[in-house]
Amino acid sequence: MSDVGKIRIRVPSAVKAGDVVRVRCLVIHPMERIERDAQGKILDRNYNYITRVTATYLGKPVATFDLTQSVSENPAFSFALKATAPGPVKVTFVDTHGGKYEGTADIAFA
């Protein structure tokens, strides 16, 4: 599991001012699911899954996702933003064990 926290972010290569850009991102993470016993009681384990995803563009928040353990392993997300200037898109993932994983991609105007 040495790749845990590795992030891939994709943005279009040809962007013009005012374009609506689709950003796609993926994080390598096990996203452990919560297990229950026969009576429906949660088994006592220290489960590890992503709980929050935050995206910023030019330092301003553009998307936030609050997650539960039901999201699959290596979750992928996409969101749209309006490209107003060249600059970085930063995506941050936080998990239940306090892990914080960040990735950045630059939006460049053609």
82 pLDDT higher than 60: yes
Mean pLDDT of the chain: 92
CATH of the domain at 24: 2.60.40.10
pLDDT digits (tens, 9 = 90+) for 5-15: 999 999 999 89
Residue 92 lies in a domain: yes
Tell me what pLDDT residue 89 has. Answer: 98
Considering the entire predicted model, what is its pTM?
0.88
Residue 1 lies in a domain: no
Domain, as residue range, for 55: 7-33+45-107
Residue 66 lies in a domain: yes
70 pLDDT higher than 80: no
Tell me what pLDDT residue 63 has. Answer: 97
Residue 52 lies in a domain: yes
What are the percentages of helix, strand and coil residues in the chain, rounded to 5?
A: 0, 50, 50
Residue 98 lies in a domain: yes
| Number of domains making up the chain | 1
Residue 16 lies in a domain: yes
Residue 95 lies in a domain: yes
Nearest Cα to Cα of residue 48 among 110, 109, 94: 94
Tell me what pLDDT residue 1 has. Answer: 52
77 pLDDT higher than 90: yes
Residue 38 lies in a domain: no
Residues 6+ apart with CB under 8 A from 48: 29, 30, 31, 32, 95, 96, 97, 99
Q: How far apart are CA 55 and CA 90, in angstroms?
A: 6
Q: Sign of the C-alpha dihedral, residues 73, 6, 68, 56?
A: negative
